[in-house]
Structure 1
Amino acid sequence: MNKDDDLKIKSFFEERKRREEMEKDFIIHQGCAAFEEILKEVKERGSLNEADMYYGIPTPQLSFSEVELGYMLTSMMEYATNHVGNPVDEESEFENKRAFFEHKKEILQIYEVRGQGTDSWFEEPNEETINKLNNTAYGVYLIQFDDFINYYKNKVIK
């Protein structure tokens, strides 16, 4: 490996670390406000994902970018997968997984579907799912959003 290759590799890792630090800062400092804005939009539109930022009519009214919305989707799903696992929607014909986050007694669901690609979005869980989360062992999948924020506060980026 020559010197140019070493510099490219070092630059790649430095850029990745910088991006991870930006994601972490956004989640720590704006995560709660973002959750509330996402919830408001979901209640008005039914669901919200990055494409809505580009093509949504009406355009979502968020104080952050589609990239930051992507941070939230990706980071929350990864956190759920690593900490409590992901239930699936048995009625869906596609491979899927879900995650549930609660903040100030409001629940947001992330739904991820894999087909010829992967798509994920925020939505409100239906009444049956909310009852299962609150009244059965299924509640193990309900994550307190503050726990997610605290995880990021303590996360060390290497």
Structure 2
Amino acid sequence: MGKLKRKKTNIPRHKRMNRNSRLQSARHWVPKYEGKNLVYGYSKHYAVDKLCAVKELELLGFRTSEHYKRELKRAAVQKQQEAEKRKARKRKQEFMEEDLWEDSDETFAFIAGYTDGGAPFGITWEEREQSKVTEPEKNFIPIYSDNWDLPF
């Protein structure tokens, strides 16, 4: 039996580097950079956030304004707050759905009642998921029904 081959990654090496490797590589990359915003280019090339790019460029001897750093920090905090709000909204929506389906178990999403023998009946979880998928068909009006007496 032969040697097992390692899987090759599709991620470029410069995006997998740690800080020490990035700093060594950046000494050669920065003079070749032709863009307008060095921080943006560094963050894209090495797959780091802009605050990290600013810190590492300062370690290499490049200066950035305090105003720019404050704006980056403010944007990072704002992004984190928006993510927390989204998570809170999602938790609230899930909580509301749980309240709607409070009479449920692992088989039934909604238990409408129980038979004389004590067995539950209602909407199963699979039926509930299917109803979510086919929801646009809710307003479908049938053109023909078996109960109608048609002249032909």
TM normalised by structure 1 equals 0.22
- Higher share in strand: 1
Pick 1 or 2: higher relative contact order, CA cutoff 8 A, min separation 6. Answer: 1
